[in-house]
Structures are given as C-alpha cells and as structure tokens.
Amino acid sequence: MIQELIQKLVDGLTLSFEESAQAMNQIMEGEATPAQFGAFVTSLRLKGETVNEVAGMASVMREKSLRVNTSEYLVDTCGTGGDSSGTFNISTAAAFVAAGAGANVAKHGNRAMSGKTGSADVLEALGANIALSPESVEKCIEQTGFGFMFAQEFHPSMRFAASPRREIGIRTVFNILGPLTNPAGAPCQVVGVSDFSTGELMVRTLARLGSQKAIVVHGEDGLDEITISGPSTIWFLANGFITKSKISPDQFGMSISPITSIQASNPSESAEIIRNVVNGSVGAAQDIVVLNSSATLVSCGVAEDLENGIDLARKSISSGRASDTDTPSIPIYEIKFASS
C-alpha cells in the first residue's frame, strides 16, 4: 500500500486523510521498510504537506501513544525545532513560568534533533527524571501544574521511524507531527514554527484535529518562538476561527535584543540560564521567557491578552512560584532551581 502512495506523491498528487493515516499506520506497525519510510517522507516534503495529510498521520500517532488522563484543563508548549539558533530551551522555561501563574502544563518534548538542547535534554540537566509513567506524569500535573511527557517513552511505535529519520537528516513531516500529538490530549497549546510557511499549515491542522485554542508563533529571525530580536507572527485559533497578527517586544516595553544574547552551547548552559530566569535575573533571557509564557497563558484562558499574560508571568517569577520546588513533586522530578 505505501508503495502506491509514494508513487502518488512522486506524481505530485495529494493524499486524502484516510490514505495518509494508512501510510502512517504501516510506518508505526513496522510494516514499511527504512527505504520506503525515507521515500515517503522525502516525496511528501518535496510535494509539500497538506492539512489532511498531516492530520491523517497525526491521528494515528495519537491513537498509538500512551495516554495521560487528568481532569485538569491542559496546555502544551512544544515547537517544531529546526531553527538552528542555538538558544537556550525557551519553551521549557516558559512552561515553568506559566505553571507558576496558574496554568496546567502537559509538556510534550524530545531530545534535540536539529538544535543543541531539546526539552528532554535540559530537564535532565536540571535534575529531572524524564522517563516517567503516564500515572507519574498525571501526579506531577495535579500536584504542581507541570508534567513532562518524553516523546520516546510515550510513542513506542515511533521506534520504527527513529533510525531512518536520523539518517535522512532533513526536516520532514515528523517535525510537524510532534507538536500535534500530545499524549495528554491538551486542548490548548502554543506551537513554535521555524519556517513561516509552516505556520498556516500548523494552525489549520490544529483546527482540523479539533483544538479548542492554540497560538502558533514564528519569529522573523527564524526562531520557533516569539522572538526578542524583532517582529513575530502569531496565528490565533479559537472556536474554529483563525486570526493572524504581528507583534514586537518594544510594544510591551521590552528592548530589542540579538539572538546571541540568549544562546547556550549545551544542555548545562541552557539549564543555568533557566535557573537564572526563574530566580529573577532580568535581561533578554527573562524577556523572551515572559513573552512566550504570556502566549501560553492566553492560549489556555488564564490571561485575557498578551499584556495581561506578561504581567502574570512577571508575577510568577517575582513571587517565586515559577521556581517553587517545595512541593510533593520533588521526589518525582527533583528539579534543582537553586544555583549550584
């Protein structure tokens, strides 16, 4: 079956939702060879992915993932990566700050694929146990407002794609699928995209998959976050309607700062920057975390708008709630925010 679908893609034809789901099912069941996997994702990339193609594949990933079940109203902060900017892990820091402001964050993430520090890498550097069971993640969310779902643990069927994906070494549809397949089924999320053209595809796919509220962000410097070096584009999905706008840090009284001011060369450096941010160190790193935390708070309804979200994020840091580890989660995560 997948051979026929590869031929359609090579011929420039678009797959239906059902066809894409069938191909993904073969991949995740180990029925597609590495060569077939490579041909499929490469031909799809060259043709250009559509909403139905991405949504069909994401639906199968969701069905086959381990599940986190909690009554909390959840938000995720997860990007596509691929910006090669070398920044510290902003989305993880934003998740801590948002949780301190009252959001319930079910963060989905992985090790670095194209950058230097993935969310799993920096959490390990902070002393976290990332290989948690669904039940332990549920406990973390309910007790602290933050839980992390390590993609390699929660998507066991992805093992068939892991090796050929690394060998191909280019951006494929799997960079887009990660943020669309939260194992906790978070109805709200902030998704960063490094490629502007992916923004529209991402937000429309989220709508196709039934997301209640989502914010897709892209920095004009190529960052898959709201950037501090200049303008960012934001796509906002709410109740099936999509709006698009552009923002800049100076709108909110923040300085325009170069990306070099927030770079980290490894997970340890990234972790140290996050410690400094949540412990109140001001500057470019805190500014970008506050901006992205604000979007997270807006997406899940804790904040009314970005200005209100910025205020709540700053209070989360200044009050110590963003760095508060004096909770029952310590034996589970053991995140160390005290400077070493």
pLDDT value, residue 323: 84
Whole-angstrom CA distances from 15 to 61, 73, 146, 329 are 17, 34, 37, 45
Output the pTM of the full model: 0.92
Please report where in the chains the tokens 């993904």 appear, as a residue: 24
> Does residue 26 belong to any structural domain of this protein?
yes
* Residue 334 confidence (pLDDT) above 80: no
Flag the least confident range among 71-85, 141-155, 179-193, 207-221. 71-85
Flag the least confident range among 4-8, 51-55, 216-220, 237-241. 237-241
Distance CA 213, CA 6 (A): 34
Distance CA 212, CA 204 (A): 12
Average pLDDT of 108-122?
Answer: 82
Average pLDDT of 72-82?
Answer: 90
pLDDT value, residue 325: 41
122/264 same-domain check? yes
The larger pLDDT score, comparing residue 126 to residue 118, is at: 126
32/88 same-domain check? no
Single residue among 29, 64, 99 that ends a domain in this structure: 64
Average pLDDT of 134-158?
Answer: 93
Mean pLDDT for the chain overall: 92
* Residue 118 confidence (pLDDT) above 50: yes
pLDDT value, residue 175: 87
pLDDT value, residue 333: 45
Task: Quote the distance between the C-alpha of residue 305 and its chain's center.
Answer: 21
pLDDT value, residue 262: 96
What total number of domains does the chain contain?
2
25/82 same-domain check? no
Give me the domain span that covers residue 27: 2-64
53/85 same-domain check? no
pLDDT value, residue 81: 79
* Residue 25 confidence (pLDDT) above 80: yes
Average pLDDT of 192-202?
Answer: 95
pLDDT value, residue 185: 94
Structure confidence at residue 1 as a pLDDT band (50, 70, 90): confident
Single residue among 42, 64, 86 that ends a domain in this structure: 64
* Residue 159 confidence (pLDDT) above 70: yes
